[in-house]
Amino acid sequence: MQIINKLLEIETFPGINIHNITPQIQDLILSTSIKIGQVLVFSRHTTTALAINENEERLLEDVKVFLRKLAPESGKYLHNDLHLRDVPPDEPINAHSHLMAMMLSTSEVIPIVERKLALGTYQSVLFFELDGPRKRTVFCQISGL
């Protein structure tokens, strides 16, 4: 069995944005000789997340509205009391982003069959930026035969 580690780099936009990273993951798989196995996709940031769902524009807008209702930016959060803790000079006010990320997932494991992601017809791997704009990385561990 082989285990191959790769990183995806994603440039994000301000606020909440959702990126379909399915094609990039598929390209990583094709860059290996693995035909059957799985890929672990892991978000490496505390204000980002991953989900498998439909990449449909209106649904993605609904998801953004839903997340903003769960953790409104204007809420009163202790994490935002920057004067009460040691922080770097560029520390953002972003408790709402952390809370949104905790409602989603940090990782997904997807089977690989015949060198392809074994996703359903309407499934895509979605990367959620909840505190952009930033340069982000997603860790992918491809394992199999």
Domain range for residue 49? 2-75+91-144
Model-wide pTM > 0.85 = yes
The token pair at 132 is 């952009």
Structural domains of the chain, count: 1
Cα dihedral: 96, 99, 100, 101 (round 10)? 120
Q: In terms of Cα–Cα distance, which of 9, 16, 136, 139 is closest to 71?
A: 16
In a domain, residue 85? The reply is no
In a domain, residue 80? The reply is no
Whether residue 111 is preceded by a cis peptide bond, meaning omega within 30 degrees of 0, is: no
Cβ atoms of 28 and 145 within 8 Å: the answer is: no
The confidence score (pLDDT) of residue 34 equals 98
The confidence score (pLDDT) of residue 137 equals 98
The confidence score (pLDDT) of residue 49 equals 98
pLDDT, tens digit (0-9, with 9 covering 90-100), for 112-134: 999 999 999 999 999 999 999 99
In a domain, residue 113? The reply is yes
pLDDT, tens digit (0-9, with 9 covering 90-100), for 21-65: 999 999 999 999 999 999 999 999 999 999 999 999 999 999 999
Q: In terms of Cα–Cα distance, which of 119, 142, 137 is closest to 127?
A: 137
Beta strands (DSSP E) in the chain are 2-11, 15-20, 36-43, 48-53, 107-113, 116-117, 124-132, 135-144
